[in-house]
Amino acid sequence: MTGTSEAASDFDLVVYSGEINRQGYLQLSAECEKATSDNCTLILTTFGGDPHAGFRIARCLRHHFKKKLTVYVTDHCKSAGTLICIAGNELVIDDRGELGPLDVQVQKTNEILENSSGLEVSESLNFLQSRVEGDTRAMLLKLRQRTGLSTKMASVMTAEIVTGLFAAIYAQVDPLKIGELQRAIRIAFEYGQRLNEYTHNLRADALGSLVLGYPSHSFVIDRKEAGLLFHHVRHPNPIELKLRDMMRRAGWVDPAAAQIVQLFDGETVKKLTQPDGAASHDNPSVDADPSRQDRQSNQPEASEPRESDGSVAESRLGNRSDYSKGAAA
| Three-state secondary structure of 152-202 | HHHHHHHHHHHHHHHHHHHCCCCHHHHHHHHHHHHHHHHHHHHHHCCCCCE
Q: What confidence score (pLDDT) does residue 105 get?
A: 59
The mean predicted confidence, pLDDT, of the chain is 80
**315 pLDDT higher than 60:** no
Helices (H) and strands (E) in the chain, counts: 13, 11
**Phi–psi pair at 169, nearest 5 degrees:** -70, -50
Q: Yes or no: say if 185 and 192 are a contact pair by the CB < 8 Å rule.
A: no
Residues 2-105+187-274, CATH architecture: Alpha-Beta Complex (3.90)
**1 pLDDT higher than 70:** no
Please give the model's pTM, rounded to 2 decimal places: 0.72
pLDDT confidence band for 109 (50 / 70 / 90): low
In the chain, domain spans: 2-105+187-274, 117-173
The most confident of the ranges 49-58, 111-120, 294-303 is: 49-58
